[in-house]
Structure 1
Amino acid sequence: MVMVPKVAIGYNMLIMSYGAYVTDWWCVDDVMSNNSRNNVTYKYCSNDDNSTCSRVYDDYTRTVVTEWDLMCERKWITPIITSIQMAGVLVGAVIAGQSADTFGRKKTFYLTLLLHSILTVAIAFVTSWQAFTVMRCLIGATLGSYLVVSVFPMEFLGFKGRTVLSLIPTFAAGVCLLALVTWWLHDWTYAHIFGGAFTVPFLLGWFVVPESIRWLTVKGKLDKAEKVIEQVAMMNGRAKPVNTKEIIMRICNEERESTMGGKPYSYLDLYRGWKMAKHSIIIQVTWWCTSASLYGFAFGIGQLSGNFYLNLFLMFILEFPIFIPIIYALNKFGRRTVATVMYGAGTISCIAVIIIQNTVPFGYKGVMITTLSLAARLFSAMAWAGIIIITTESYPTVIRNLGYGAANTAARIGGIVAPFIFTPSGNEMVPYIIVIVLLGLSGILTRLFLPETLGLAMEDVVQVDQEGDQEGVQETKDTPTNGHPFKETPDLTNRQSNKGEENKNGRRAPIICLFTENTRL
């Protein structure tokens, strides 16, 4: 009920890839008879102010470009619309991060979903590109909000479950659905109505989806937290531990003590103390670079050779066969290692494109460049999956949505730049050189500065050490920190057998049901 709507989010996020698609068109002289369309007038932009030439578009498909004649002297409008949409995504990410940590994950999530449905249907009835731009900005805000707050199911899961939930290719499924729907309908208005209607049934999840136990606990809503725990225990066929109340009360009290009486957190807390500031800045730079690369490929899909709809479909359907191997790799070799390798593979793919551009004859290089571009985008997406998990796992509950929201904000700034990366510039190598720099920098930062969070529990509260740096809660003797920026307790909430599991250091973790005297939610 929470993750499947992400199909519509992926669909709507990339819908401007179709909106900016340029179908066949001719510059036809208004004075001439027979509405002449030939090779001379095909995609011809007249530079003469006195020209009587007007553009006539193939009526095979109806895009934003054909709707408002956004070609030649008006071609700058299309990437501007996309950038303004991504600016809206940025604003939504900022608002949702603060809202989810202040008012709750569930309320923020369902308000976001409702607004997304209404706005995406309403945009089909606008009559100017200016109004369309405003509506895309508002829709973008709902997209950014969803991407921030939809991670709250991870707060119910152990580290293996978080990997699976993060990597389920719902976003990719949405873009594949976009390719199929636009190929079928050939109309931007119907495509929007379809995307808005898709999320409506999931609004019923309000009646069954619980609020985050972690958020309820740190906010002092202990009765509600205990009821959710009872619901979880019942659905798993387990008995609620008798000391549940004491455990969540202790976590609540620690949070009140650490915040000096319940002072609300803000984005400033992500930069309070050198350790926290360094971690947050590196996370955000990595998200910015990855987002600019990924959305650069996606919004520039029309610049690749071959069929637009097929390229768009292939760009994201390739995530499905690699979905299971990446989950295994992230849980086996670690989030940081996999992300670094994927960044490296994406960088190498772009380097190969530049080599092909300068060595392979024109008639052969089109398919090769398209294939390598699709591969580079795929590798970038798999790297981002690892970074998303690291981001989610490395912030305590009280600032998790703030941290994730700030990272998403950085990503949306990258998204604002992305539409211009693959805009025709006369030099085909420039976009790939930019992506090489972005992915290479991301790989270096990930390998050298980000923590490995495999096998670590997600922390709940923040403490401040004697030097003023923000830390997690006090480390226990079994904690596998391994350079993690926040001290944590081991992940003991996902044990499924009487044999137990080994943590990263090879030690056998104790067996518990849900709580023990010395572990947290």
Structure 2
Amino acid sequence: MAFASLLEHVGGMGRFQVASVLLLALPVLMMASHNLLQNFTAAISDHRCRLRWEANTTSLDLQDLLKVSVPHGEQCRRFVTPQWWLLEVNSSAPNSSWPETEPCHDGWTYDHSVFTSTIITEWDLVCSSRGLKQLAQSLYMAGVLVGGIVFGGLSDRFGRRSLLTWCYLQMGTMGTCSSFAPTFTIYCLFRFLTGMAFSGIVLNSVSLSLEWMPTRTRALVGTFMGYCYTTGQFLLAGIAYAVPDWRWLQLTVSLPFFCFFIYSWWLTESARWLVMVGKPHQALKELQKVARINGKKEEGDKLDIEALRSYMEKEMASSRSRHTVVDLVRTPVVRRISCCLCFVWFSTSFAYYGLAMDLQNFDFNIYVIQLIFGAVDIPAKLVSIITITFVGRRFTQSLALILAGLAILANILVPRDLRVLRTALAVFGKGCLAASFNCVFLYTGELYPTVIRQTGMGLANTMARLGSITAPLVKMAGEVFPTLPFIIYGAAPVVSGLVAIFLPETRDTALPETVEEVE
């Protein structure tokens, strides 16, 4: 509570806060490009078996050659020998049995009209190897999970800015290495490390921006960051359309992070964190710098260590005690918050990536679908910021999840030939999940006290990534029972929306500093 007064004393929402938010928002523009990248780098093109007779046969055109070599509509098998009888009018199979087929031993031929190159065409991730596409995305999300655990704890110990700088470098380096990967295994390794960096950037960008914001502007700043991610989805569709080769696309979305790494050295460490880890002298220096930038130099000069200690005596005392992940479940109120947030984060991410990472299931142009899925976030987040600000966080969180789940469940009842209606329901559900993400990022930061905020964000991020890792596995269950994925994707958000009702409201309250304040 005292730190909120300190921020007002040095200018509130001044020039420093605006500049910091803009600098932290620029990398967020590129985050969607990495998170949703495999919609394009791992897009599946039309394919068929490569023909062993193709080079030796010149008298037949390609269509006739395909007719005698590959069963109609078959992508994973071919005839053992050419079936010349198929060229005859009113022909029937010899001996009344279908000719013997075999797997595509000589590889596949792909349609390059949309994507000149993808990891699918590069390493033949089709037919018996098609599960490797989902494995690559799951490993990336596993990296995001590990990054949440590792960087969440490290930033509480070593600072938000230091970890953010490292993660920018890691994202740029590992993303660039992915574009030069010689094998699928090495590609997956670099994508895993890229996912770790993604987590560190998200966690520390949110914390660093919120911890410098006055109470009244936190919701606005959180939503602005969310809109930057939304804009990044538009950006991804444009970049992917302009760069159809997967290696160049991977490189294009990775190189900007080297620029972010360079300017991150000029970002200011969180004074709130500095106080909590027992570095009041450095915190005072940063506060005076902020006051000077905000045109409040005199007020900043009046601050000294004694004034800082009088403002934050209780918080500095609490910083002398060690805090671990156990503190997330040690006390009753924080334990309830942690359990509820685990449900909310898991379900939001689980259903979101179940929809957003399977664009090729829609019978539309993949670039257009990417734009539509990005566009729906704009009204969804606008409505969410209005309800977050004027109604409350808990209401917004619960309603967004329940509506998303109901939209997905409704798709089960819609016939498959009503393509537009099914797509509209999926887009509406995705918009509600985007609103849920927008709310829960802000809500989680406000529910946890400063001393364990990053550890709490790390736990929340872990649950979200477990959801995103699980989503592709559930989709594979659709091969056995087609409606099962929709039932699970829809039921999970509905249950979590009901669980969110048990979270405390944080509207118009200052960020808590200690566990005792929350209790």
| 1-structure distance, mates of 2:375, 2:422 | 18
Does 1:101 find its partner at 2:153?
no
Q: 1:221 to 1:75 in 2, by over 3 A?
A: same
Name 1:400's counterpart in structure 2: 453
Q: Secondary structure, in 3 states, of the residue corresponding to 1:4? A: helix
Shift of 1:175: 2.2
Query: Could you report, residue by residue, the CA deviation over 1:430-467 in whole angstroms, capped at 9, with x for unpaired residues?
Result: 222111111101100111x11111001002223xxxxx
Name 2:470's counterpart in structure 1: 417
Residues 53-64 of structure 1 mapped to structure 2, 5 A cutoff: 54-60=107-113, 61=115, 62-64=117-119
Name 2:219's counterpart in structure 1: 163
Kept in 2, the 8 Å contact 1:390–1:451? The answer is: no
- Structure 2, unaligned stretches of length 5 or more? 1-22, 79-100
Name 1:240's counterpart in structure 2: 299
Q: 1:218 to 1:51 in 2, by over 3 A?
A: closer
Name 2:93's counterpart in structure 1: none
Amino acid at match of 1:165: V
Name 2:423's counterpart in structure 1: 370
Shift of 1:165: 1.8
Shift of 1:77: 0.5
Does 1:19 find its partner at 2:41?
yes
Q: Which moved more, 1:285-294 or 1:322-331?
A: 322-331
In terms of Rg, which structure is larger? 2
Name 1:324's counterpart in structure 2: 382
Query: Could you report, residue by residue, the CA deviation over 1:395-437 in whole angstroms, capped at 9, with x for unpaired residues?
Result: 1111111111110011111111122333452544222211111
Kept in 2, the 8 Å contact 1:220–1:252? The answer is: no
Residues 298-313 of structure 1 mapped to structure 2, 5 A cutoff: 298-313=356-371
Q: Secondary structure, in 3 states, of the residue corresponding to 2:53? A: coil
Q: Which moved more, 1:289-298 or 1:203-212?
A: 203-212
1:153 to 180, 188, 209: 209
Q: 1:235 to 1:147 in 2, by over 3 A?
A: same
| 1-structure distance, mates of 2:24, 2:103 | 56
Kept in 1, the 8 Å contact 2:309–2:316? The answer is: no
Query: Could you report, residue by residue, the CA deviation over 1:198-231 in whole angstroms, capped at 9, with x for unpaired residues?
Result: 2222223334311001001111211221122122
| 1-structure distance, mates of 2:389, 2:295 | 26
Q: Secondary structure, in 3 states, of the residue corresponding to 2:475? A: coil
Shift of 1:341: 1.6
| 2-structure distance, mates of 1:279, 1:198 | 37
Kept in 1, the 8 Å contact 2:380–2:431? The answer is: no
Kept in 1, the 8 Å contact 2:165–2:265? The answer is: no
| 2-structure distance, mates of 1:108, 1:231 | 21
Residues 120-159 of structure 1 mapped to structure 2, 5 A cutoff: 120-151=175-206, 152-159=208-215
Q: Secondary structure, in 3 states, of the residue corresponding to 1:306? A: coil
Amino acid at match of 1:148: L
The count of aligned residue pairs is: 458
Q: Secondary structure, in 3 states, of the residue corresponding to 2:247? A: helix
Kept in 2, the 8 Å contact 1:343–1:439? The answer is: yes
Query: Could you report, residue by residue, the CA deviation over 1:85-135 in whole angstroms, capped at 9, with x for unpaired residues?
Result: 111101111111111100000000010001101111111111111111111
Shift of 1:333: 0.5
Q: Secondary structure, in 3 states, of the residue corresponding to 1:435? A: helix
Amino acid at match of 2:495: L
Name 2:314's counterpart in structure 1: 254
Kept in 1, the 8 Å contact 2:408–2:429? The answer is: yes
| 2-structure distance, mates of 1:17, 1:284 | 27
Query: Could you report, residue by residue, the CA deviation over 1:348-378 in whole angstroms, capped at 9, with x for unpaired residues?
Result: 2113211213xxxx54x11211111111011
TM-score normalised to the size of structure 1? 0.83
Amino acid at match of 1:27: C
Q: 1:43 to 1:13 in 2, by over 3 A?
A: farther
| 2-structure distance, mates of 1:70, 1:207 | 41
Computed over aligned residues only, the root mean square deviation of the Cα atoms, in angstroms, reads 2.1
Kept in 1, the 8 Å contact 2:402–2:494? The answer is: yes
Kept in 2, the 8 Å contact 1:299–1:418? The answer is: no
Name 2:395's counterpart in structure 1: 337
Shift of 1:40: 4.3
Shift of 1:53: 6.1
Residues 346-495 of structure 1 mapped to structure 2, 5 A cutoff: 346-357=404-415, 362-363=416-417, 365-423=418-476, 424-425=478-479, 427-447=481-501, 449-462=502-515, 471-472=516-517, 486=518
Amino acid at match of 1:435: Y
Shift of 1:52: 5.2
Kept in 1, the 8 Å contact 2:402–2:498? The answer is: no
Amino acid at match of 2:220: V
- Structure 1, unaligned stretches of length 5 or more? 463-470, 473-485, 488-521
Query: Could you report, residue by residue, the CA deviation over 1:274-323 in whole angstroms, capped at 9, with x for unpaired residues?
Result: 32222112211210111111111111222122111111121112212444
Shift of 1:325: 3.4
Kept in 1, the 8 Å contact 2:337–2:447? The answer is: no
Amino acid at match of 1:282: C
| 1-structure distance, mates of 2:339, 2:508 | 24
Q: 1:369 to 1:221 in 2, by over 3 A?
A: same
Q: Identity of counterpart residues, as a percentage? A: 25
Q: Secondary structure, in 3 states, of the residue corresponding to 1:455? A: coil
Q: Secondary structure, in 3 states, of the residue corresponding to 1:97? A: helix
Name 2:167's counterpart in structure 1: 112
2:259 to 170, 181, 201: 201
Kept in 2, the 8 Å contact 1:7–1:171? The answer is: yes
| 1-structure distance, mates of 2:103, 2:495 | 49
Does 1:7 find its partner at 2:32?
no
Does 1:44 find its partner at 2:75?
yes
Q: Secondary structure, in 3 states, of the residue corresponding to 1:31? A: coil
Amino acid at match of 2:306: E
Amino acid at match of 2:136: I
Kept in 1, the 8 Å contact 2:384–2:439? The answer is: no
1:190 to 231, 248, 262: 248
| 2-structure distance, mates of 1:416, 1:193 | 24
Q: 1:130 to 1:231 in 2, by over 3 A?
A: same
| 1-structure distance, mates of 2:347, 2:314 | 37
| 2-structure distance, mates of 1:405, 1:355 | 38
Does 1:277 find its partner at 2:332?
no
